Amino acid sequence: MEFGNDYAGIAADFWRKLEPGNGDFDGLRASLTARYQRLFTPPVAPAVAAADPLASSAAFVRYQRALKRFGRQTEAIALDAFRRLSASIGATDPAAPPITSLRELHELWIECGEAAYSNAAHSNEYAEAQAELLASLVELRREQLLRR
């Protein structure tokens, strides 16, 4: 439910900004970045609570660092998508079709998001961050299982 609300909220926020007199996009960036991170950043391992001895283990620390690194990647994707969408909306090219519905805005947002994600996903930094996150999560899970 949270995923759906965040996803729909992204498009709704943009749509409100397109209304006359609401063209200030500064506050929108923080909202979109936060929503994008919630949508695409893996949650902290639920089995590791603050009282859990694993919370101070090397595996948990590695996982937290990897999660933070990957989070920076998702934030960069969100900002790139936002920049692309802002540029598309603000384009004065007469060949660009006007946005007259929420559906058209959503399609443009998806197009910009896919372009931003594709650009990032093909970078070495993204691949390394994703690989480190997976490796650290596997290590943490292994440690959890060994301590049972």
pLDDT in the model for residue 17: 66
**Residue 43 sits in which domain range?**
2-146
pLDDT in the model for residue 133: 93
What total of structural domains would you count in the chain? 1
From the number of C-beta atoms within 10 Å of its C-beta (0-12, 13-18, 19+), residue 71 rates as middle
pTM to 2 decimal places? 0.65
**CA proximity to 44, closest of 35, 36, 55:** 55
pLDDT in the model for residue 146: 84
Residue 95: which pLDDT band, with cuts at 50, 70 and 90?
A: confident
- Structure confidence by residue, pLDDT tens digits, 34-89: 766 666 665 555 454 455 666 668 888 899 999 999 989 988 998 899 889 888 88
Q: Do 112 and 88 touch, CB atoms closer than 8 A?
A: yes
Residue 113: which pLDDT band, with cuts at 50, 70 and 90?
A: very high
| Mean pLDDT score, 130-141 | 93
